[in-house]
Structure 1
């Protein structure tokens, strides 16, 4: 699950359109389960104009368009 999350976050991060935390590392825990370590981003102060957010989300989706024409190249926590 965290591998797909890290790949997705890196894809969003690379567009430089919407501020998302950069993932640094993910993997299995020796006792079971898994982990993800990512950059801390202070949310709350960044809430601004919703129309700007909408435009940036559109830019992000255009930059990350799948070769399939829809969806994402890797299954993640949202599903297949």
Structure 2
């Protein structure tokens, strides 16, 4: 799946200089990470992985306007989906 299908507004950075980067970090299992990346193969520029023995930290970068409801909602949606550890 193309990352633009998940976050179509992510490509707006050049057109709107007020857009900023939102970073989300989630602690998930390695198998969850593999499933997530398999379903979102184009996210390699947005997703980084820090592996441990049994878990990993998933970092998802989301571009959105500061205070923009899209970015805020997307962060919350992914946080819920990935069981975010604050």
Q: TM-score range by the shorter chain?
A: under 0.3
Whichever of the two has the greater Rg, that structure is: 1
The answer to which structure has the higher strand fraction is: 2
The answer to which structure has the higher helix fraction is: 2
User: Could you tell me the TM-score, scaled by structure 1's length?
Assistant: 0.28
User: Could you tell me the TM-score, scaled by structure 2's length?
Assistant: 0.27
